[in-house]
Structure 1
Amino acid sequence: MKKRILLQVVLGSLIGVCISFIVPLFISMVVNDGNYYPVALEMQQAYGNQLNAVIIQVMVSTLYGAAWGIAPLIFTIEKWSLLRQTVTHLLLTSLCTFPAAYICYWMDHSVVSIISYFSIFVVIYLGIWVFQYLNIKNQIKRMNHKIHTLN
């Protein structure tokens, strides 16, 4: 299990850093003025210069990716109920996403933005969770049907 956790942390970290460079690339392409915008302007101003901001964003994205990398392992804890797994996963992912979004200025630093962040996060999370739940339930139904037709 320790190997799996380490692998998930490393892969998650690498994916987090990759995403932190790919998203700004797409944003820069949309702006389409010939410049690359690796970080939010507010972040650059807050941390003194672009290099400092990029270094911080890479460090944050590494930790953020690591947290998201291990988050699915919560659903492998068989002694926990689905409710406990889901709530723990939601707390881990939302509480690691918020500081990353705040530190990297992916959101405005206001009470309204914080409330909006958590509202949007929970709605998206619940939407994905319900979709996954129904999909898994349907797969179980099909497997049970195959088992019953074999007997």
Structure 2
Amino acid sequence: MKKRLCIKGILGFVFGVFLSYTMSIIISICLSTGEFYPADTALVYRTGSVLKAIVIQYFGIGIIGSIMGISSIIFEKDEWSILFQTILHFIISSICIAIYLLLAHTNMVGISHVLLYIGILLVVYIVIWIYRIISCYTKIRKIKKKLLIKNDKISKVDKKNLFIIRGFVVLILGILVFITFNLCIEKLRMNSVKTSNLSKITVDGISIGEDVSLVDFENYTQTNENNSDYKYNFDELNLDVDNQNKVSYIFTRFDENKTNIKINDINKVKSIDDITQILGSNYYEKYYDKEQQLKKHIYYDRINNVTAEFTYIDFGDDNSDNNKKLCWIEIFKPYYK
């Protein structure tokens, strides 16, 4: 038994590492920058070193693979139902992944991200469970044929159950393909946006990459809201830094006029049309909140590794003064979010 568990653990580690690097290759190809990204950019940001991130990811995912491999012994417990086996293995896998994400990506991955990963894992396990149900039905039918059991009623029930289960599998796979296709299309559209120069966007003279020790916070009002997402929280702006104390995120509002926002040395920008005139039309447009009719234009500076998101009101063809009016701006390193 110990030997079998060791083999399962080793094979699980190898498979985990293989899957990790396979995903890195696929992601690098999808990003189409000509560079290889061996580790998650959020983890690189967290550790401050590509090598450290690779080592953590290598052993972290490898250990998860080992645990999942060893715990696969659950599926050999014939006295347990397939549903119980699948749920138990899913719980073990979810706990491992959640611990890894929260420890390795501290301050970079929130509960929502963990739930997203677990949600994807849940769909995978549902497919696995249905597949195992079908496999069991197939084996039972083969055994029945060998034993020359000919019962038309049982045979009809088996066929009906198999038809229903296969229908569920096709439905779930269809949904997965649809979601994946749409995500890929959106990613390709975002990658097709040409780079813009965002190096001259400042808020009260503060820019991305600036040493935070040079920023004077005395003129800002400390906010009463408890927001742990950012290191510096004021009524006028929110600001965060990386592990080298360089500014990595800036948020401020246009509609409150509490800060001086300059874009290419031009201030008093009021509408999204003004942004287009200054930065050009190389942006990705998407809804921020459809119900509130809020859209945003996203600009990418792939040379300086900066992203700027401008959120504005869009009333369609309405000619009112508030239509196309800017609400707020977010400037950040692309791996920050």
Partner of 2:45: 45
- One-letter identity of the residue aligned with 2:6: L
- One-letter identity of the residue aligned with 1:3: K
Query: Residues 5 and 45 of structure 1: is their aligned pair in 2 closer, same or farther, counting only changes over 3 Å?
Result: same
Residue aligned with 1:37, SS? coil
Partner of 1:66: 66
Q: Is the 8 A contact 1:40 1:104 kept in 2?
A: no
Residue 23 (1) aligns with residue 27 (2): no
- Point out the structure with the larger helix share: 1
RMSD: 2.3
Per-residue CA deviations over 1:32-78 (Å, capped at 9, x if unaligned) read 22211011211101011111101100110220110121132111124
Partner of 2:12: 12
Instruction: Point out where structure 2 has 5 or more consecutive residues left out of the alignment.
Output: 150-337
Per-residue CA deviations over 1:66-98 (Å, capped at 9, x if unaligned) read 012113211112444444423321211222233
* Whole-Å separation in 2 of the counterparts to 1:78 and 1:37: 43
Pick 1 or 2: higher relative contact order, CA cutoff 8 A, min separation 6.
1
Q: TM-score, normalized by length of structure 1? A: 0.83
- One-letter identity of the residue aligned with 2:75: F
Partner of 2:88: 88
Aligned-residue sequence identity (percent) comes to 27
Query: Residues 20 and 115 of structure 1: is their aligned pair in 2 closer, same or farther, counting only changes over 3 Å?
Result: closer
- Point out the structure with the larger strand share: 2
Deviates more, 1:33-42 or 1:85-94: 85-94
Query: Residues 34 and 119 of structure 1: is their aligned pair in 2 closer, same or farther, counting only changes over 3 Å?
Result: closer
Residue aligned with 1:14, SS? helix
Per-residue CA deviations over 1:113-137 (Å, capped at 9, x if unaligned) read 2333333322321122012212221
Partner of 2:148: 148
Per-residue deviation, 1:100: 3.4
Number of residue pairs matched by the alignment: 148
* Whole-Å separation in 2 of the counterparts to 1:148 and 1:55: 57
Query: Residues 69 and 21 of structure 1: is their aligned pair in 2 closer, same or farther, counting only changes over 3 Å?
Result: same
Partner of 2:122: 122
Per-residue deviation, 1:12: 1.0
Partner of 2:56: 56
Partner of 2:133: 133
Greater CA radius of gyration, 1 or 2?
2
- One-letter identity of the residue aligned with 1:128: I
- One-letter identity of the residue aligned with 1:111: I
* Whole-Å separation in 2 of the counterparts to 1:36 and 1:103: 25
Instruction: Point out where structure 1 has 5 or more consecutive residues left out of the alignment.
Output: none
Query: Residues 82 and 135 of structure 1: is their aligned pair in 2 closer, same or farther, counting only changes over 3 Å?
Result: closer
